[in-house]
Amino acid sequence: MYKYDNYDQQMVDTRVEEFRDQAKRRLEGKITEDQFKPLRLMNGLYLQLHAYMLRVAIPYGTLNGAQMHALADIADKYDRGYGHFTTRQNIQYNWIKLEEAGDLLADLAKVEMHAIQTSGNCIRNISSDHFAGAARDELVDPRPYAELLRQWSSFHPEFMYLPRKFKIAVIAAETDRAAMRLHDIGIQIVKNDSGEIGASFYVGGGMGRTPMIAPQIRDFVPLDQLVTYAEACLRVYNRYGRRDNKYKARIKILVHEMGAEEYTRQVEEEFAHMLGQGVEPPLAEIERLRPYFADPAFVDGPKTCDHSDPDFALWVDRNTNAHKHDSYVSAVISLKPVGGIPGDATAEQMHLMADLAKEYSFDELRVMHTQNIVLPHVAISDLHALWTKLEAAGLGSPNLDTIEDIIACPGLDYCSLANARSIPLAQKISERFAASGKTGELGQLKLKISGCINACGHHHAGHIGILGVDKKGVENYQLSLGGSEAEDVALAKITGRGFDEAGVINAVETVTDVYLGAREDGERFLDTYRRIGMTPFKEALYD
């Protein structure tokens, strides 16, 4: 994985000093909260319901054991012994003190980490495929390109005060594991007819209150023009994105109102101009980055393992993914124990995951947008030993992509924007289905819960989505069906009137029963919904 050189280290170290200085000026009263807020947000520091919250960037979701150990130490030293992995592959801490934030950032910088641009109206952390560099189905490893974009977007002087936040995802497989088309810019690394590698650009996707799927605006950008093209996309947005209404300020609204064709025309015009401006890093830079992401020293070994223990066999079946080397798999550590808080991990669990990465996965881990952790390169012969240790630590839940693998935002338990709680709902739904024993029978079923319209819990993209709303001071939940964040991307539709907490849990069970009754061979919930439509579900829910 990528390793900072002196330049990168100097950038994060300088950033720590800059933030210390900004915080000091705030505490001394030299700047007001109105002036300080955008500055602290650009360094991931929010003021949430109970305290300051700090979001730490995990670029394209990749980290090593030392970094995971450091995240655990930070949880113990500055927080309350845990952290929360987010739907953009980051981690956030819920109980941070402003006066200690500078020291925390200095600790992060020691392990080549930071909180740069994890919030604010600027280009956010670049996300990617959590199986990058390991998946059998990828064209190339997308992370060198993500790293190139990370550097370009860090402290970009023109784009620090955009109309609104800006999220970029980069993938390099036909299977989309990064919700690529629900990003402001989604980039797919592709090969053209001449066999050259380049980038396909999708612009104007997003969730939030007006969910949209990004249209493709360019099918192939040569690799030595990647940054220039991104810069052109951003400049058109910075100049023309709406600033009169924060709810209409995302690029998806610009692309929608202007029309994808006109937006594309303007980008192409800007791009043609910028090609002469020397903004592109030299091609040698991509060549420099690539070896950092080279394969570790894989060793040929057994291609299967003993499946006689049914619990182990179930975990292997559900929580591992095909690897490009046939003696290895990528193993998913579920942070979704039945009744647990989705995405939360204690310092102790983080230390253990770091140790396991060192022992079994070439010292590498990944954060998934589904709030789980991946050990990307596990030898099949090590799987049983790994699973045994995970089981012992309560990290062996065999529930990847099942109805127990729920995405949930922090909701009203932590978030000042939330209208309703998300976590208790996730806990109760996972308990209900684990107790009923239907989890396995339901197969792949992605349930996603957001506590407000901002959709951090990706409810628009859930096979089943739940949105918490405030109904005259009482929590209420709207159910939606048919969304997907994957390559079969779709936006979910609301079933009808909302439910109270107990009601929506029953409603989830009702719609799964409709599916079980109507499905044909091999159909997932989503497939059945697409075939039979909303009506049978509505009838079961409301008639």
Partner 1 sequence: MKILTGNDLKSGAVVWWDGAGWSLHVNDAVDVGDDADTIAASEEAARRVNVPYAIEATRDDNGVRPAHIKDRVRALGPTVRPDLTLKPTQPEALDWIV
Partner 2 sequence: MTDLDTRPTAVQFRFRDDEMADHGTVTFDACCEQTNATAVRIEPGDDARALLPFLDRLALIEVNFPVFGDGRGYSSARLLREAGYTGELRAVGDVGIDQLLNMRRCGFDAFAPAEPLDESDAQAAFNRWPNVYQNTADGRRMITQLRHD
Enumerate binding residues for partner 2 (CB under 8 A): 5, 7-8, 10-11, 14, 17-18, 21-22, 25, 30-31, 35, 38-39, 121, 148, 151-152, 154-162, 235, 238-239, 243, 273, 277-279, 281-282, 284-285, 288
The CA-based dihedral angle spanning residues 354, 359, 364, 366, taken in that order and rounded to the nearest 10 degrees: -60
Q: Which stretch binds partner 1 (CB under 8 A): 95-103, 164-172, 188-196, 528-536?
A: 95-103
Taking the C-alpha atoms of residue 463 and residue 326, their distance in angstroms, rounded to an integer, is 31
CB-based burial label for 438 (10 Å; 0-12, 13-18, 19+): middle
Please give the backbone phi and psi of residue 344, each rounded to the nearest 5 degrees, phi first.
Answer: -80, 140
Contact status: 271 vs partner 1 (CB under 8 A) = no
Q: Are 137 and 173 in contact (CB under 8 A)?
A: yes
Helix (H) / strand (E) containing 189: strand 185-191
Residue 244 binds which one of partner 2, partner 1, none, with CB within 5 to 8 A depending on kind? Answer: none
Residue 29 binds which one of partner 1, partner 2, none, with CB within 5 to 8 A depending on kind? Answer: partner 1
Give the binding-site size for partner 1 (rule: CB under 8 A): 29
Taking the C-alpha atoms of residue 399 and residue 336, their distance in angstroms, rounded to an integer, is 8
Nearer to partner 1 (CB atom), residue 285 or residue 501: 501
Residue 423 binds which one of partner 1, partner 2, none, with CB within 5 to 8 A depending on kind? Answer: partner 1
Q: Which stretch binds partner 1 (CB under 8 A): 229-237, 397-405, 409-417, 487-495?
A: 409-417
Nearer to partner 2 (CB atom), residue 43 or residue 330: 43
Taking the C-alpha atoms of residue 252 and residue 257, their distance in angstroms, rounded to an integer, is 8
Long-range residue pairs from 262-267, CB within 8 A, at least 24 positions apart, any chain: 263/203, 263/204, 263/217, 263/236, 264/217, 264/218, 266/236, 266/240, 267/203, 267/217, 267/218, 267/229, 267/232, 267/233, 267/236
Out of 33, 193, 520, 543, the residue judged to bind partner 1 by CB under 8 A: 33
Please give the backbone phi and psi of residue 259, each rounded to the nearest 5 degrees, phi first.
Answer: 90, 135
Q: In one letter, which amino acid is 457?
A: G
Nearer to partner 1 (CB atom), residue 53 or residue 190: 53
Taking the C-alpha atoms of residue 490 and residue 382, their distance in angstroms, rounded to an integer, is 38
Residue 218 binds which one of partner 1, partner 2, none, with CB within 5 to 8 A depending on kind? Answer: none
Which positions from 456 through 485 interact with partner 1, judged by CB under 8 A? 473-475
Strands in 192-340 per DSSP E: 197-203, 216-222, 320-322, 328-333
Give the position of tokens 């969730």: 207
Q: In one letter, which amino acid is 499?
A: F
3-state secondary structure of 415: coil
Residue 288 binds which one of partner 2, partner 1, none, with CB within 5 to 8 A depending on kind? Answer: partner 2
Residue 356 binds which one of partner 2, partner 1, none, with CB within 5 to 8 A depending on kind? Answer: none
Nearer to partner 2 (CB atom), residue 115 or residue 406: 115
Residue 50 binds which one of partner 1, partner 2, none, with CB within 5 to 8 A depending on kind? Answer: partner 1
Nearer to partner 1 (CB atom), residue 341 or residue 378: 341
Residue 14 binds which one of partner 1, partner 2, none, with CB within 5 to 8 A depending on kind? Answer: partner 2
- The stretches of 443-500 forming alpha helices (DSSP H) are none
Residue 27 binds which one of partner 1, partner 2, none, with CB within 5 to 8 A depending on kind? Answer: partner 1
Contact status: 99 vs partner 1 (CB under 8 A) = yes
Give the sign of the dihedral formed by CA 75, CA 80, CA 85, CA 86.
negative
Contact status: 24 vs partner 1 (CB under 8 A) = no
Residue 358 binds which one of partner 2, partner 1, none, with CB within 5 to 8 A depending on kind? Answer: none
Contact status: 145 vs partner 1 (CB under 8 A) = no
Contact status: 80 vs partner 1 (CB under 8 A) = yes
Nearer to partner 1 (CB atom), residue 95 or residue 220: 95
Output the CA angle 408-400-57, nearest 5 degrees.
Answer: 55
Contact status: 412 vs partner 1 (CB under 8 A) = yes
Minimum separation from the CB atom of position 63 to partner 2 (A):
21
- Both structure tokens of 22: 């900004």
Please give the backbone phi and psi of residue 174, each rounded to the nearest 5 degrees, phi first.
Answer: -65, -35
Nearer to partner 1 (CB atom), residue 412 or residue 504: 412
* Residues forming the site for partner 1 (CB under 8 A): 26-27, 29, 33, 47, 49-52, 80, 94-99, 341, 412-414, 416, 418, 421, 423-424, 427, 473-475
